[in-house]
Amino acid sequence: MKSINDFKYPTQISMEKLLKSGNKHKISNACFDNNITKISNKLAKQHLDSNIEIIHVAIYFDLLFKAYLKNKFNVNDMEDEFKKKLKYNSPLHILNLWCSYYEGYENKQGSFIHTLNKYIKQNKNIFVYFDLHDYLIDDESFKKTGKLTYSIHSTCCLIYPDKNNKYNAYYFNSHGEALKSEVAHGYNKYVTRKRYKNIKLNKPLDFYVFDHLFKYINKYNETYHPNSIMINYDSTQHYNYDGPNLQEGDKFGICFVFPFLFYVNLISNFRIKFTYKLGNKEFKFTSFCKLMKNNHIDKIIKIVMCNYNKTLRILFVNPFRFTENNIDLLISDTIQKEGTKYTKYLYSLILDFTTQSCFI
């Protein structure tokens, strides 16, 4: 089996043809037990030293906000529900999600909370793929057909014990800093085929939903499983990737690529030093296991994503001693300028890696 970083840039094929090939192999499938999660599980079994388990969760935003609006005129008042005793008829139970996971190589389905509790008791590192259904109105489709349809967005979360043996959740959406924009402080709720209602939120959409999700998990366990370990999470940068927008130049919507690239590199370099090669020089970074234990997940993501472009590697090594904010701006600018070239390379890596004979 070739490493994902062994594959070269595809010079003799267009992005459109790559996408057709990817669709044929269903690499962007959001169903449970899809090729990405199957391969992720196989890799976990090959890298037992990483102690990682795979979970796949779907969140239906339309259903979530429908349940909230049924109980609260202002969805920002839902915070009050977490202060109350959790009863059987609480609107918060919409966050009691279903998931897909693996026992050996066999796919299973069950309660997300119960699966998390099982793995946390075993002191596992847990990699969760999230597919966010009804996430954004598909503007391109709306312009063409005049009918409202939603797009699905793929993100992920690493849930792990740090060096103090406290469980933290780190959320990774490849749009990074763009999640904090003014536009992101709301949700466009489907009303009719041609009309939607914008629901204003007191924090960015992703942070609003995931803050509620982990509060609910802790509240549920406090109520029904009082001996369970709580998971630390809030909407600050300590628990969320807010770095450069890695999809700045993406015109094709390849969001699913970024969680998988993060995962493959994390598990492949878990206990070894990750190396950048620039000319005749090599730059080695602390093992991802150590970075994770010290809660530097943002650094792991940047090391991984900057590895696929020479300019980005130079920026990350930072020989000119720029400030971190300046580096992030330069990384964003570089990704935007690279446009489809960067996008095409990342997509081809996933396609080439997942279609190796050992995975088919």
Pair of tokens at residue 307: 């590895």
Residue 226 contacts by C-beta under 8 Å, 6 or more apart in sequence? none
3-state secondary structure of 354: helix
Neighbours of 110 (CB within 10 A): 13
Q: What is the pLDDT along the chain (360 residues), one digit of tens a residue?
A: 899 999 999 999 999 999 999 999 999 999 999 999 999 999 999 999 999 999 999 999 999 999 999 987 789 999 999 999 999 999 999 999 999 999 999 999 999 999 999 999 999 999 999 999 999 988 777 778 888 889 999 999 999 999 999 999 999 999 999 999 998 999 999 888 888 899 999 999 999 999 999 999 999 999 999 999 999 999 999 999 999 999 998 999 999 999 999 999 999 999 999 889 888 888 899 999 999 999 999 999 999 999 999 999 999 887 677 788 889 999 999 999 999 999 999 999 999 999 999 998
Burial of 23 (0-12, 13-18, 19+ CB in 10 A): exposed
Pair of tokens at residue 229: 């370990």
Q: What is the model's pTM?
A: 0.96
